[in-house]
Amino acid sequence: MIRAIFFDFNGVIIDDETIQMKAYQEVLSGHEVALTEELYFGALGMDDRTFVRSMFEHAKKPLSDPLLEEVLGAKTDLHRQMIEELPLFPGVLKFLKSASREFQLGLVSMANLTEVSYVFQRANLTPLFSVIVTAEDASVCKPAPDCYLTGLLKLNELRQQERELPLLASECLAIEDSPPGIQSARAAGMRTLGVTNTVSEEALRAAGADVVTKSLADWNVDAVKLVFRQD
């Protein structure tokens, strides 16, 4: 039985993968680093620091720590300007609200805390989530399982404080939009729901997604309980 749901952020809650790419393209072009769509989507699952380092390395450009911070700051500022009208996916807010009444919710994302906090504050999502894991909490990127294991650890620490029994990974569902995200959650022992917001159904199934859907607008609490009941 599913007792907790962990959500990815970019591409699952907020429809901004293309916006992220365009923001990076604009910032990186100022440093003579070309970012193609193929390069961007081939790096799904990376945190911002790893991504910027990999792009500079690909372009054979030197990258100092001060320049890295400058690029990251400029991208975050531009991204914020580009999401003035918050692009949440259709149906996701309704699903989050209903799911939070039946399950404990967690966020497991390689996005930075600044960007996550900005969106959560604007959309009033913070009260719905028990735990939040961002790039600052993970030492390695997806598809490594570390971020999901950290999310489960944080959740069980919270449950211990509330004198509740800990959850097993198999009692958790991860909702992801990318193959590295699916692989990360599976490696942590969680069930997985892939959403075709970013890549194809075939790519998500090849990564091992238990179930694939076109939209969270098609899901509710009863569907989660039915589809992900214990075999």
3-state secondary structure 144-175: CCHHHHHHHHHHHHHHHHCCCCCCCHHHEEEE
pLDDT cut 90: percent of the chain above it: 97
The reported pLDDT for the residue numbered 229 is 86
Is the Cα dihedral 159, 134, 144, 211 positive or negative?
positive
The reported pLDDT for the residue numbered 181 is 98
The reported pLDDT for the residue numbered 231 is 52
Cβ atoms of 55 and 11 within 8 Å: the answer is: no
pTM equals 0.94
Whole-Å CA distances, 45 to 4, 112, 148, 231:
22, 12, 12, 29
pLDDT < 50 regions, the chain: none
The reported pLDDT for the residue numbered 230 is 67
Using DSSP bridges, classify how beta strands 4-7 and 104-108 pair: parallel, antiparallel or unpaired: parallel
